[in-house]
Chains A and B, each alone.
Chain A
């Protein structure tokens, strides 16, 4: 039981490039979330999903897109990378809507 896994662990992008951050959970959780963490700040919600085929925006969705075709996977897409997207990205999942969220190890992204 691996929990929540994220790939890659680290990535450097040039401005204007695109990439997909992968997130997979093996706990059969319906709810999945993407957060970003900036230095000295708490985590901020980017997008979330309440089940396969259903996604919605969080606090800071601009510059990102998501999809949820299966229960297990919730990829985050950056289309035109900008320096403001330099951050650590965490994926999380939960069984119940108000339940504990389980976090992945994070992806550290630098845009230069």
Chain B
């Protein structure tokens, strides 16, 4: 069974500083990998996804992530954080379901706080 580990529960960075959120996954085959962001009281919004090909993936809002198969990691990065980036971030791995569909297994999330 697949699993996702986000080792950092909370992270605080200063506005303008760089950011890296860690994600490690366990999955037997080539994974589908996702990063979602959740603002308070909101649903989840997709930041970026990796299915195949280039291991450095660009997403919305200036985020990027790098897939490293040898480390089973899919870390999220941003060169300069804005105060509006404060939110909870979820890494997820997708696996095909019986009969179709894609089950997302989520990590427990990383809460990002941005200091002005």
Interface positions of A (Cβ within 8 A of B) = 4, 30-31, 33, 35, 40-45, 48-50, 54, 56, 58-59, 90, 92, 94, 97-106
Contact = CB atoms under 8 A, between A and B. Distances in A.
21 contacts: A4-B43, A33-B104, A40-B9, A42-B105, A45-B104, A49-B101, A50-B97, A54-B99, A56-B99, A90-B43, A97-B100, A98-B51, A98-B94, A99-B102, A100-B34, A100-B49, A102-B46, A103-B44, A104-B43, A105-B42, A106-B43
A11 to B, nearest CB: 15
A107 to B, nearest CB: 10
Contacts of B96: 97-98
A93 to B, nearest CB: 10
Could you tell me the dominant secondary structure of chain B's interface residues?
strand
Contacts of B99: 50, 54, 56
A101 B103 CA distance: 10
Contact of A97 (B4, B44, B101, B109): B101
B109 A48 contact: no
A48 B97 contact: yes
B108 interface: yes
